[in-house]
């Protein structure tokens, strides 16, 4: 209704005594550390590296794919996320085991960039006014995870090398999860959920995790405390104190 009146009829919509429907508050799916390791063990190359970034830095899928060369700070072990959800910037951690693989990867990407430049391929797409202020052909603006082929930009008609397609990584994760024998409903975003839960489980302060994830409201981050083994209040089941065994002698 809002879209109809605002974008089609171009008229204000007077709504009286209307209550906005609430989205169901479903707990997200989280992988155990052993399950994350199993999935990553079924991946290779760029897809392994991207998925490791999702889990190691708590990135959303598109935040990972839109990373540019200048956004990785190896000296301070951090990832600068630009224009994340809500158009906000943030800084998150860069896992030590990914430093050398990323550096090797960037050398290959830079070689491809040099070949594109020699062939006259236009620079990468730049958002809004950045295209006017900066040179899109500079190395620092190139995508960390570029597409394997160049394509024509429908907005300008220029041939560019865009970032890796999200559907390709999503399919690769699905295949890896199946090979790892995991029955949970896993997506690329599951690795971000797992990142947050595992940080909290290891004793990280909830405010720190909130900053890492870029949540505006700490209540969003608190959702992950309910996913820990015994909950946020460390509740221990009373059944733990009983020696309850079935009559058929079933053992652990």
- pLDDT tens track for 64-102: 999 999 999 999 999 999 887 877 899 999 999 999 999
Q: What is the pTM of this model?
A: 0.81
Question: Which residue among the candidates 70, 82, 85, 90 is catalytic per the annotation?
Answer: 85
Q: Is 189 one of the catalytic residues?
A: yes
Report the C-alpha gap between 148 and 218 in whole angstroms. Answer: 39
List of domains in the chain: 33-122+137-227 (1.10.443.10)
Taking the C-alpha atoms of residue 153 and residue 166, their distance in angstroms, rounded to an integer, is 17
Catalytic annotation present for 215: yes
Active site residue 159: no
**Known catalytic membership, residue 164:** no
From 163, 192, 193, 198, active-site residue: 192
Q: Which residues contact 141 (CB under 8 A, 6 or more apart)?
A: 68, 69, 70, 123, 124, 126, 134, 135
Query: How large a percentage of the chain has pLDDT more than 90?
Result: 50
Contact 196, 221 (CB under 8 A): yes
pLDDT of residue 237 exceeding 50: yes
- Which residue out of 55, 60, 113, 163 is catalytically annotated? 60
| Structure-model confidence comparison of residues 140 and 241, the more confident one | 140
**H/E/C letters for each residue in 54-121?**
HHHHCCCHHHHHCCEHHHEECCCCEEEECCCHHHCCEEEECCHHHHHHHHHHHHHHHHHHHHHHHCCC
Residue 10's pLDDT band (boundaries 50, 70, 90)?
confident
Known catalytic residue at 76: no
Q: What is the pLDDT of residue 21?
A: 67
Average pLDDT, integer, range 58-64: 95
Sorting pLDDT into bands at 50, 70 and 90, what band is 133?
Answer: confident
């Amino acid at each position: 209704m809002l879209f109809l009146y605002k974008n089609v009829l171009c008229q204000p919509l007077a709504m009286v005594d209307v209550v906005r429907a609430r989205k169901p508050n479903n707990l997200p799916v989280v992988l155990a550390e052993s399950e994350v390791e199993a999935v990553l063990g079924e991946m290779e190359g760029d897809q392994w590296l991207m998925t490791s970034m999702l889990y190691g830095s708590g990135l959303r899928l598109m935040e990972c794919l839109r990373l540019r060369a200048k956004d990785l700070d190896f000296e301070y072990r951090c990832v600068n996320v630009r224009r994340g959800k809500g158009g906000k910037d943030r800084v998150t951690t860069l896992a030590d085991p990914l430093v050398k693989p990323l550096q090797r990867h960037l050398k290959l990407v830079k070689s491809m960039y040099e070949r594109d430049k020699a062939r006259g391929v236009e620079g990468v797409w730049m958002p809004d006014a950045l295209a006017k202020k900066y040179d899109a052909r500079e190395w620092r603006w190139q995508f960390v995870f570029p597409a394997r082929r160049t394509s024509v930009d429908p907005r300008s008609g220029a041939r560019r090398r865009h970032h890796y397609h999200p559907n390709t990584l999503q399919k690769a994760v699905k295949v890896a999860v199946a090979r790892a024998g995991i029955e949970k409903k896993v997506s690329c975003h599951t690795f971000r959920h797992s990142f947050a839960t595992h940080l909290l489980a290891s004793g990280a302060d909830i405010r720190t995790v909130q900053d890492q994830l870029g949540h505006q409201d700490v209540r969003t981050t608190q959702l992950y405390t309910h996913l820990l083994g015994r909950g946020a209040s460390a509740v221990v089941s009373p059944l733990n104190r009983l020696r309850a065994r079935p009559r058929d002698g079933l053992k652990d």
